[in-house]
Amino acid sequence: MEVTPYTPTDYSLARTDNNVHRLPPIRSGDLVSRSDEAPAYTIHNTRYALPAPNIIRGTSDLQSGEIDSWPANASGSSGAFRTLALTNQGRLVPIGTNLRGKLDTTPKPKFLAIIEDYLYSELKALGVEESTANESRLQVFREVFSTIIDDFKTYKPLLSAIKNEYEIMLTHLSDKVKELEPLRQQLVLLSEQCDKKLMQYRNEEREEISLLKEEKRRLQQNIRQLTNQNQNLETNIQRLQEEVSNQYQLYRKELDARKLLINDANDLRNQQEKRTDEKEGLDEQGIKKEDPIMMRIALKQARKDLNLALAKITHMEANYNDVVPRRDFVALEAKSNECLERIKELQTINDNQSQAIEQLRTQNENLKEDIQRLQREKDELNIKNENIHDEMTPRPSWHLAGEVIDGGAERWQNVSTNKTSQEKLVILLNEFTGGGNDDDGSGNQSQNSTVPDQLSPRGEGEQIPFHLRSSRPVKNRRLTRRDVVVLIQEIWTERRISDKQDGRTKSLSEFIYEFFRNRYGNHNTAVEMGYNLDYACNRFKYNDNCQLFYHILSGEADEDIYHYTKNLIEHLAERILKESETYPNGSVPSEKFHNMLTKYLPNKSSNDISELVTAAEKEQPNEEQISVAKLFSVDDEDNYGEFIRVLKRQLNDDKQSYIHDVVEKTENSNSVNAKDLEQTLRSLNPHIQPNELAHIIQWTFEAKDGSQKPSMSVNDILQRLQNGVFYRQHALSS
């Protein structure tokens, strides 16, 4: 509660050279009458003088009674006035100007001296001598003031009225403080929640910006790769064009040479045929005429033609020795056409890649603009959020209260129907302060709905749990259900980390005390939080997490129930998630998910597997495939979805079936010892592991002091098995 700073006024105490507060001096002009003037009064503008007071007053009036006049034996000099000063000890002492700052030693009245001595002795006895706000100091001054009122009969009504007004105002302000204290706590809680949400939004925006930046870097890398590929393709195209051009020129030369060779060969063949015909004609003529002269001429001409043919052949061999055959030319021409087609395809690919690069550049620019826009929106939202947080009061979403109050949305619907906003606010304040958790479901408080302000201590004996050892009452902090569940989740997380590092060397009660001691730094707060946690868990037994934690903390249930269930869920999630990585986005079809469950839960029946698959589909009704990661997601209150709830229910059904079989085996026995129970479990489950069997036997026959009982009744054994790790179909496939 803020205190208005002190501002000096005309009525404030003046300061002397000794830095002591004192009352302002009484100026002679402020008096009603002066000592050197006679008293007078005025009627109808006519002034009448009165005789001096010492003439009228008798000698009896000058004598002191029980209440002495002050100062009693003063010198009576009126030349120097005296003022009052406030010392560091809170005393009012007279200081005269003729004393030059020294204390006036003029004797005080007896009554005043007695009152002051009583006041100073009481303040010193209570240790409240300093001028600070304190109830004990105020009570001492109240008693002194009451004594003064009783002795001053004349001023008693006025002083009593003044005192009553101050008392009424103090009571009113105290009530105001008590009324505003819960609201202040609520404001602190709401402020923390808003800060958490703001940090969550900032983390989400930071992750989204990081993803966008990573996408930007990936696109820039793709652009660089495509640019390099484009440059390589352009270089290859230029090289292939040069090679094709060279090969084409070579092919043209070879084609021209081949055509020339073919023409020469045809001319030579025609000449040979002509000469052969002429020779045949000459032969016929020679045969007919038998002219030797013609024969010689023909022979000479034939030799001449032969020499000419040989020369042409030699010429052709010399000039056309490097000419390729026609089939090789056709093959090279076909290869050239293929290269031209390949060049066209590469040019098309190059054009497409250029377009893709332009699109990627456009997308990159768009992403940059989106990032800038998101940054601007983020800044605007931050400014808007600050403005809303400071100035605006939007209408609340009342349906969200059903997620945090006891009983959930159904009870909130019952208690808030046809209620105004003011009434809903009162209901919420009662919930937060612990006064609205025991109603009958219709909004009406039951007769046992009062919540104590303090929790009774249980003592400091060895039989008391370690986190509850206290001999003094502790404050009830009125923890809400969500606060308790989140706190339990934090304790379990730290507990599992400690078990992995050092092993389980301490009980849960000792671990809780050390957890709170490390968090708050002192013993009293640790014990106070331990009492509040124990009380809140007992209050919120309808919540499964609170109920299990309370039973484990009180020694009624085995701690391994929580660890076993948590490890089973985590191991199953690890295997299924690893196998689902081969599917897009980790979403698998229902048939594949059915096969996974059958593979990793071999002891489950087909009906149980089908029930689990149905629960998974029901949890994700709008999805075509099952997102495995969502099935195993958990919130900060350690709550899972429908799939894990069905799995836990099947484990509980398996336990009940197992216990039922034990009942049938032992129902005719009055008492059962450890050996009998071991034989019964081996007969019901021949494949039970030795360490598992030893843990069940140890938990069943363990007493509260840690010793082992020789035998127990059947009902007690069944109760212990009900609260222990006792499952039959629970193992995952190796």
Token pair, residue 673, equals 């010892």
Q: What is the CA radius of gyration of the chain?
A: 55
Which pLDDT score, from 0 to 100, does residue 107 have?
65
On whether the CB atoms of residues 604 and 597 are closer than 8 A, the answer is yes
Classify residue 466 by its DSSP letter: G
Region label for 45, one of left (φ > 0), alpha (ψ between -120 and 50) or beta (otherwise): left
Q: Checking DSSP bridges between strand 671-673 and strand 711-713, what pairing results, if any? A: antiparallel
Residue 79 pLDDT exceeds 50: no
Burial 16-33 (b: 16+ CB within 10 A, else e): eeeebebbeeeeeeeeee
Q: What is the mean pLDDT of residues 355-366?
A: 87
On whether the CB atoms of residues 591 and 717 are closer than 8 A, the answer is no
- Distance between CA 432 and CA 482 in Å, rounded? 10
Confidence of residue 82 (pLDDT cuts 50, 70, 90): very low
Residue 607 pLDDT exceeds 70: yes
Please give the mean pLDDT across all residues of the chain: 76
- Distance between CA 86 and CA 96 in Å, rounded? 14
> Domain limits of the chain?
189-376, 395-451, 454-557, 561-722
Confidence of residue 15 (pLDDT cuts 50, 70, 90): very low
On whether the CB atoms of residues 565 and 648 are closer than 8 A, the answer is yes
Sign of CA dihedral 56, 59, 62, 63: negative
Token pair, residue 498, equals 């400690």
Confidence of residue 290 (pLDDT cuts 50, 70, 90): low
Please tell me the least confidently modeled range out of 45-49, 189-193, 524-528. 45-49
What size, in residues, is the chain? 734
- Distance between CA 439 and CA 427 in Å, rounded? 11
How many Cα atoms occupy the beta-carbon half-sphere of 443 within 13 Å? 13
Classify residue 37 by its DSSP letter: S
Collapsing DSSP states into helix, strand and coil, what is residue 92?
Answer: strand
Q: What is the mean pLDDT of residues 340-349?
A: 86
- Distance between CA 149 and CA 145 in Å, rounded? 6
Backbone phi, then psi, for 448, in 5-degree steps?
-105, 35
Confidence of residue 734 (pLDDT cuts 50, 70, 90): low
Q: What is the mean pLDDT of residues 142-171?
A: 88
In the chain, pLDDT over 70 holds for what percent of residues? 76
Better-predicted residue by pLDDT, 508 or 245: 508
- Distance between CA 95 and CA 101 in Å, rounded? 6
- Start-end of H helices in 26-109: 53-56
pTM (global) more than 0.75:
no
Which pLDDT score, from 0 to 100, does residue 184 have?
83
Q: What is the mean pLDDT of residues 513-524?
A: 89
Residue 484: name the closest of 560, 542, 442, 441 by CA.
Answer: 542
Q: Checking DSSP bridges between strand 92-96 and strand 671-673, what pairing results, if any? A: unpaired
How many CB atoms are closer than 10 A to CB 621? Answer: 6
- Distance between CA 495 and CA 6 in Å, rounded? 53
Residue 77: name the closest of 58, 96, 64, 60 by CA.
Answer: 96
Residue 30 pLDDT exceeds 80: no
Q: What is the mean pLDDT of residues 531-536?
A: 90
Token pair, residue 121, equals 């002795």
Residue 151 pLDDT exceeds 60: yes
Which pLDDT score, from 0 to 100, does residue 279 have?
63
